[in-house]
Amino acid sequence: MSNEGTGTKTAPGSGKVLGLFALAMINVAAVLSIRNFPSMAIYGWSCIGWYVLGAILFLIPISLAGAELATGWPEGGGVYAWVKQAFGEKGGFVALFCEWSNNLVWFPTVLSFIASTLAFALTPALASNPFYMISVMMVAFWGTTAIAYFGEETSSKFSNIGVILGSIIPAVLIIFLGIWWIGSGQTLVLPPFSLGAMVPVIDLSTLPFFATIILLFAGMEMAGFHALETRNPQKDFPNAMALSAIIILVCTVLATLAIAVVIPSNQLSLASGVMQAIQYFFDAAGIAWLVGPMALLITLGGVVNLASWLIGPAKGLGIVAEEGNMPPLFDRTNKYGAPVAVLVIQALIGSAISLLYVFLPSVNQAYWILSAMTVELLCIVYLLVFAALIKLRYSQPDKPRPFKIPGGIAGVWVVGGIGLFGTALAFVVGLMPPSFFATNWLAYVLSVLLGTFLLAVPPFIFLKYKNSRWLKTAGRTG
């Protein structure tokens, strides 16, 4: 295995070899989330076409780009290291910070899912009560922040359990319940299947949902960090990406359709649609008493998964702080290696953003604004990643890359070009308000742009006021 790299860390792979299936599962765990199914179930059979479109324009390109960049620059920092190599310190800092600040907006949407799911174990009507929502969200958020205090190892243990309990098992169960629903002769909401029904209707009312595809498949580049842990990256990694893409697409499409055949689109809640479907399924099967335990299981899975994501991006800022690009506060860690200051800062900001659920007239509107801001920030990250992929083939053509996108420069331009087009399109349509959004469209666009700007501009401020004392004191334990 190659240990090429400019950082102090060795490349992954020392003493450990991942099989094709294990590598594929890394992506499945990172991407597959039942939380996103309801937003696509609204479109019935055409969700298949939307998913395929998302796979072509984003899922496949980011998988290949992540593989090449991660095997060529396996040192710590992820997107920071990749983009920094191509566009310098400023570009890398922006990419990493957007990846972190994106989570600030992502946290409340996940927390709303946790709160609305828990409501089904208590009283489903609570899911529409903003004060119940904000109360549960704060308990879950600060509780998982406390878990993150004990370091990445503790959080990762919770994450491993959460992937199984909160994503894979519920998704498979929903699929089987959907099959049972159809086989038992229950009333189907969807019209009869046809090939034409799979073709998405693209107009001003549906285009915003393309941006949701980016949110669904974001994270597919994560397995790239483990590409060097395979025996033959050039062969094993693309096969693993293909396998994981198939698993993710099949589970996502079938589970989404299972929800779509049960719940009319005008009755579907974006935050609690999964539990709505389970409620329908279990009532019809005569096992309604299982709704509560299932809600608790999915809630626990969501909380555990949230705990793992709290600490990872926060630790990424420590790499930037070590290089003197941020005040040493951001590199303060406790005896468990947890970035305590950043954990508190992101919890405070995330809590403030969560208050949107109280002040906006409906949970669905708050959910969509936050999701749109998440997509915009992710698009900034991925635009820089795809651009870095192309530039590095020119600026560092001789850099060893155990996995290289086939086809030479032309292949890189095809993959990077498609990725850039898909990501840029998602950024633009992410600014388009969905049809159910009641407020003025200009106010919606300005809200999303302002929120995105505020969460993306801090790197320029930090670099402007950068001073030598930050570098001298960075890395101290607090």
Instruction: Output the CA–CA distances (angstroms, integers) from residue 384 to 74, 426, 457, in the order listed.
Output: 18, 14, 15
Please check the confidence at residue 361 and state whether its pLDDT lies above 60.
no
Alpha helices by DSSP H, 120-189: 130-148, 152-163, 169-183
The correct CATH number of 20-473 out of 3.40.50.970, 1.20.1740.10, 1.10.274.10, 3.40.718.10 is 1.20.1740.10
CA dihedral 200, 61, 221, 392 (to 10 degrees): -150
Kindly report, residue by residue over 235-287, the tens digit of the pLDDT.
777 777 778 878 888 888 888 888 888 877 776 665 566 777 777 778 877 88
pLDDT at 308: 66
Mean per-residue pLDDT for 396-404? 87
Distance CA 342, CA 331 (A): 8
- The answer to whether residues 264 and 189 touch, using CB atoms and an 8 Å cutoff, is yes
- The answer to whether residues 87 and 242 touch, using CB atoms and an 8 Å cutoff, is no
Per mean pLDDT, which range of 33-37, 229-233, 383-387, 455-459 is the poorest?
229-233
Query: Nearest to residue 224, comparing CAs of 436, 71, 31?
Result: 71
Extract the tokens encoding 79.
Answer: 């997107």
Query: Nearest to residue 78, comparing CAs of 388, 413, 398?
Result: 388
Query: Nearest to residue 471, comparing CAs of 279, 327, 276?
Result: 327
The more confident residue out of 360 and 236 is 236
The more confident residue out of 158 and 293 is 293
Mean per-residue pLDDT for 365-383? 81
pTM of full prediction above 0.85 = no
pLDDT at 17: 67
- The answer to whether residues 431 and 372 touch, using CB atoms and an 8 Å cutoff, is yes
Distance CA 134, CA 378 (A): 25
Kindly report, residue by residue over 38-67, the tens digit of the pLDDT.
778 878 888 888 888 888 889 889 888 988
Helix (H, G, I), strand (E, B) or coil at 333: strand
Helix (H, G, I), strand (E, B) or coil at 477: strand
Distance CA 107, CA 310 (A): 9
- Taking only Cα atoms into account, the Rg of the chain, rounded to an integer number of angstroms, comes to 22
Per mean pLDDT, which range of 8-17, 233-242, 311-320, 360-369 is the poorest?
8-17
Report the largest interatomic distance among the alpha carbons of the chain, rounded to a whole angstrom. Answer: 71
Residue 475 CA, distance from chain mean position: 29
Extract the tokens encoding 261.
Answer: 């055949």
Distance CA 281, CA 278 (A): 5
Instruction: Output the CA–CA distances (angstroms, integers) from residue 149 to 35, 88, 313, 377, in the order listed.
Output: 26, 32, 14, 26
Helix (H, G, I), strand (E, B) or coil at 259: helix
The more confident residue out of 133 and 335 is 133
Distance CA 396, CA 399 (A): 6
Average pLDDT, the chain: 78
pLDDT at 381: 92
Task: Tell me which amino acid residue 472 is.
Answer: K
Share of the chain above pLDDT 70, in %: 81
Share of the chain above pLDDT 90, in %: 11
Kindly report, residue by residue over 200-214, the tens digit of the pLDDT.
877 776 776 677 777
Extract the tokens encoding 276.
Answer: 């709505």
**Residue-range domain boundaries for the chain:** 20-473
